[in-house]
Structure 1
Amino acid sequence: MSRHLEVGERAVGTEALHGGSTAEMRRLTIGTRDGGTRDLVLRSFVDPFHVERAEDWLDREAGALTLLAGTGVPAPALVAVDPAAAHCEYPSLLMTHLAGRTVLDDEGLETRVPLLARQLVAIHAVPPGERPRGYVALTTADTVVVPKGADAAVWAAAIDVIRRPAPPYEGRFLHRDFQPGNVLFDVAPSGSAGARITGVVDWAATSWGPADLDVAHCSTNLALLHGPAWGQRFAEAYEEAGGVLAAATSERLYWRVRDALACSEEVRLVARPWREAGRAELTTRAVEERLDTYVTALMDALG
């Protein structure tokens, strides 16, 4: 890290950042020549499962941060990357620190959802200098985990939806994990009335694919965090913000259901960081029940 600091700068403090599920994050306080400080963030993949995939993820994140510089999308600036751990103990990426914090509370959601939608429209408008790799589906019809007590017929019908070939689509630059946990807000002390987005983080899964897929992913997360109705509301907000989704209802259903069913395989992993962030009521079982309700709502509305 020291090789990438300005002359006369040095690290004077570190602080662990919490809330991530795939990497260790540290805020590094850098002492500057004039006696002040600035912050950087070090992102390191330490778990063996993630270390195996880190080179691809960090290459993609470094490419995305380079591409986004100057676009108006509030992403960190790349400082340095060591995807193969040639210099660091673990594969790591060093970037600038962004102000703001994630907000996962129900309060103020009516204000934040349109902001999230407008931000995602702006991300999809970014013209990629070099097209990233195609999206990965993340689930198959044979790996879906049906929640206990779910309506077997509804879930069987939903699984049949993703047995079909993927619909044709116009490709877009995708974040691929755009959801409240990866968006930073500056929220007024009195609540969310004056909220604004200060940053979008975790660009390691950037891909090329349909806008519907990013919208579906954020919709699923909102449905599980705040209630199934918010999953439907986000898609509406995306179109209200100028975003374009698939014209056919069957195509919208395909992408929306595909992401929801992918979440069925990792409910425990999804719920844990939310509880650690203060949403203690979001037990694995509670999130499973919301997922079941959301899938049923999708099949009722679009199926």
Structure 2
Amino acid sequence: MNGRHPALSDRALRWAADALHPEAEVLSVQQLHGGISSLVHGIELSFGGARRHVVLRQFDNEEWVREQPDLALREAESLLRASQAEGVQTPRLVARDATGNGCGRPAVLMTMLEGSVVLEPADTGCWVDGMAEALARVHKIEAGDFRWTFAPYCDVSSLDTSSWSAIPDQWQSAADWLAQSRPSFTPRFIHRDYHPANILWDNGAVSGIVDWVNGCVGPAGIDVGHCRVNLAQLHDVETADALLSSYRRYAGASFDYDPYWDLVAMIDFAYWPPEVYAGWTALGVSGLTREMMCERLDRYLLSLLDRISLHDGGRRG
């Protein structure tokens, strides 16, 4: 066996192999980079003369597991629901260990998709358009009785950007606007962590969407907004706006844009002093600084405040 990583125990390897086939043998193991909240490994196995590639996610963040003990179950159920998307590849569930009794940690075993993450594309327009189309297809999945529902990560009433932002007063204005009544929305099955590092590409096209642990029922605007704020920090406001334009075209009348959800998504990034996302650097992006992240968030906020002033005449603000 080549490429073994010490974070993957013999117990975890045996559990993964047995889940695929009792006679499966492990050929190689490779730690996969890009995520920062769990251990993810690609495993190559052999049985019956065939080779299979799977991905094992182990939830090793003890605080996260204490707060959300159903993480493995949630991702497993999200994978099953996501598999209903037409025209979009998602990992297929192989096995789950909700408690860690078999693997040693709560874990999900899934198929490996072809492709790689692209963060600095040669053709930004096609890149953004592909992400938007794939997301619109996900949002066509029936929400049904999926048990997990959307909730904001941060309490906007305690937002304080004075330690890092050049425009803290504008951030306060945004927080005050959000504190008013929440708009209604059509419940959708959403990814909840949709951003470029969770999208795979092959031959210039989206080949898959990964990392479904946060799947839930909520507003489509949260997925759009989460991706947009990532694009604003990774690239610029113009790229974030291009994603919105493309998504609106693919979603059509099923999507009623409201800047409220953009702001909710952005607060997750502004609640604490911004940093360069470790997943980007792990995937080879260089040249970004904390100062750039702060400046780009400020710039993006100003663009959203402009949208608020135009949206239905600022009907809530």
TM-score using structure 1 length: 0.90
Match of 1:48 in 2: 62
Match of 2:256 in 1: 246
1:257 is matched by which residue type in structure 2? Answer: L
CA distance in 1, matches of 2:46, 2:52: 7
CA distance in 2, matches of 1:293, 1:216: 15
**CA apart distance, 1:94:** 0.5
1:255-294 pair list within 5 angstroms? 255-266=261-272, 268=274, 271-294=277-300
Within the candidate set 61, 68, 84, 2:82 is matched to 68
Match of 2:43 in 1: 28
Match of 1:112 in 2: 127
| Paired residue secondary structure (2:53) | strand
- Is 2:188 the partner of 1:172? yes
- Is 2:179 the partner of 1:163? yes
Contact 1:78 1:96 in 2 (8 A): yes
Match of 1:218 in 2: 227
**CA apart distance, 1:288:** 1.5
| Paired residue secondary structure (2:116) | coil
Within the candidate set 208, 232, 235, 2:217 is matched to 208
Identity of aligned residues (%): 28
CA distance in 1, matches of 2:142, 2:165: 45
How many residue pairs align between the two structures? 291
Contact 1:222 1:228 in 2 (8 A): yes
**CA apart distance, 1:129:** 4.6
**CA apart distance, 1:273:** 1.8
RMSD: 1.9
- Answer with 175-184 or 270-279: which moved more: 270-279
Cα-to-partner distance string for 1:217-237 (whole Å, 9 max, x where unaligned): 111111111111222221111
Within the candidate set 118, 121, 124, 2:139 is matched to 124
**CA apart distance, 1:268:** 4.8
1:213 is matched by which residue type in structure 2? Answer: I
